[in-house]
Structure 1
């Protein structure tokens, strides 16, 4: 009788453990991966750009750069720093460039934007050099992660996996098979659910993130139930374990 009770209890624990591991482990299958996927984020309205024009003759290139601004820190001992102003892509997708006027950059990749500006400068500067950097590339990670928040991205691209790593990975209560990515482009929001327990999610167009993407990790049933039941669930499990122990000792 005692062995039977322990057998049932052990079987229950094993089944629960197996189901949990399937819901927690990443990349469980070995689906076919598409190695031809190439991703380059495109510029969009509200992007802030640092654009520096240079040439063999600095005096010729100077009028095509925004003037630098001196920033003073809040403390008395802070050192003033000189920084070049940033360009802002307006709602029409354009920037106002010194000497050149309006240039539409929205929808272009960084490399395409550089080439477009260089082509416009060639009539005024011999062999112009254009450096362009996106200053406000950021993503937001919310929900069942260890460190939710807004994260600035310094590189040109970032993956969903890297974003989750920045947020300290999912908690044990995060649904790995139902991660929501919210993306806005040209004023239109799109929503995509991603299952990171399967390897083929790397083929998704949402594997590489765009600036201002929002990632939401939904809580699993355990988290939802615990928030409703509260500490009673823990008490119930403890009571069940105690009953099994008492029965085992009594029937021994």
Structure 2
């Protein structure tokens, strides 16, 4: 099956239109930098995500982590509560930078998602959950990480489940059509779930397998009964 078959669709997908927003319970790495590293020390506390490996400890100490609470805030040293929910990563960087300018001249801020997870289920080679190194992830890349669809997967009806403001939304994607590249669901958000359903042949085979086991069991029982009665 050929993916994204060409047609007259005008391709205008822009990542900036669908960039993921920070949500409650997101885990963020927030690092503050400046020309004088000493002035950033109060804003870069030791990370709570420690490892037994010393080199990893040293690395993690430079990458403090924060969890977005149920109010959409993170609590940073000196700055206190900072509302980040609903902001993109770039918007969050600018907001924290403006707060830091009260204490640091020309501060730098780097933010990364620590729990940008996508789950791929169903008729794929390696179903499971995957932690993404960046928020710029497409549905095709996620399926690639899962080893692509099996020959039994339905490529015309991929189900994507996404939570928006506490509500689950579902969207169907047709990987055989080029227009999928324009879908607002082409770029994934954290905690998205992709489900690839089996084709009719696979469903029928599964039913046949279950029914066959039942028929064999009944036949074996009848043969045993007849054998006992005819002795």
Band the TM-score falls in, shorter-chain normalisation: 0.7 to 0.9
Helix, strand or coil at the partner of 2:154: strand
With structure 1 as the length reference, what TM-score do the two structures score?
0.76
In the TM superposition, 1:74-89 aligns within 5 A as 79=54, 81-82=56-57, 83-84=60-61, 85-89=64-68
The answer for unaligned runs of 5 or more in structure 2 is 213-231
CA distance in 2 between partners of 1:231 and 1:212 (Å): 34
Change (3 A) 1:25 1:72: closer
Q: What does residue 25 of structure 1 align with?
A: 2
1:158 CA displacement: 0.6
Partner residue in 2 for 1:161: 140
Deviation at 1:94, TM superposition (A): 0.6
1:128-178: CA deviations, max 9, x gaps? 111111111110000000110001111231101111111111111111111
After TM superposition, give the deviation of residue 27 of structure 1 in Å.
Answer: 2.0
Q: Distance in 1 between matches of 2:13 and 2:122?
A: 32
Give the SS at the match of 1:95: strand
How many matched pairs?
206
TM-score, normalisation: structure 2 = 0.83
Which of these two proteins has the greater Rg computed from alpha carbons? 1
Residue 82 of structure 2 is aligned to residue 116 of structure 1: no
Structure with the higher fraction of residues in strand conformation:
1
Aligned residue for 1:26, secondary structure, equals coil
Where 2:110 maps in the other structure, the secondary structure is strand
2:12 match: 35
Answer yes or no: is the 8 Å Cα contact 2:13–2:182 preserved in 1: no
The aligned counterpart of 1:210 is 189
- After TM superposition, the structure 1 = structure 2 runs for residues 101-140 of structure 1, keeping only pairs within 5 Å, are 101-140=80-119
C-alpha change, 1:30 and 1:126, in structure 2 (3 Å) is same
**Other-structure match for 1:146:** 125
Separation in structure 2 between the aligned mates of residue 126 and residue 187 of structure 1, nearest angstrom: 39
| Structure-to-structure mapping, 1:51-66, within 5 angstroms | 51-66=30-45
Which secondary structure does the structure 2 equivalent of 1:116 belong to?
Answer: helix
1:173 equivalent in alignment to 2:152 = yes
Q: Where does structure 1 differ by over 3 angstroms across 4 or more consecutive aligned residues? A: 68-73, 78-81
SS of equivalent to 1:103? strand
* 1:240 aligned residue: none
- 3-state DSSP class of the match of 2:90? helix
